[in-house]
Amino acid sequence: MRLIPKLNSNRKTILLATWGLFTGLTFLLISAGSYSTLLGIRAELENLPTVISGGVTTAYYAGFLIGSWYSLRTLKQVGHIRVYATLASLLSASTIVTGLFDSPVLWIIMRISTGFCFAGLYVIAES
């Protein structure tokens, strides 16, 4: 019994062309979920009030909303590759800054940034 069906040449071409995109998107989704979970745990370890933790969570979705709108406009101006590279770099820097400091104000700013970047990266991956 075969676990993987036999593919014709057209399907092999499509599979070879898209496997990197789907693998990268899988890692992106896993990292987004892990980051959100670990930030909530860190907020609890830092004894942040519930209102501040809610503000940090809300900031992510505010950034996501802004990023989904703004990334479409940027894609038209400079292209997919440049926008993806810029957003991925900004995302990694924002994640590192969040881990280095324990200031709630800085966390809110970085969560807006990460929401912005994740939204843009999702838009690029889907387009």
| DSSP reduced 3-state for 5 | coil
- The model carries a pTM of 0.84
pLDDT digits (tens, 9 = 90+) for 49-88: 999 999 999 999 999 999 999 998 999 999 999 999 999 9
Residue 57, phi-psi category: left (phi > 0), alpha (psi -120 to 50), beta (remainder): alpha
- Number of structural domains found in the chain: 1
- pLDDT(1) > 70: no
Where in the sequence is the domain holding 123, given as residue range(s)? Answer: 72-127
Q: Could you tell me which of 118, 124, 106 has the C-alpha nearest to residue 31?
A: 118
In a domain, 107, yes or no: yes
Q: Which helix (H) or strand (E) holds 103?
A: none
Binned at pLDDT 50, 70 and 90, residue 2 comes out as: low
| In-domain check, residue 45 | no
Burial of 66 (0-12, 13-18, 19+ CB in 10 A): middle
> pLDDT of 21-32, one tens digit each?
888 889 989 999
In a domain, 102, yes or no: yes
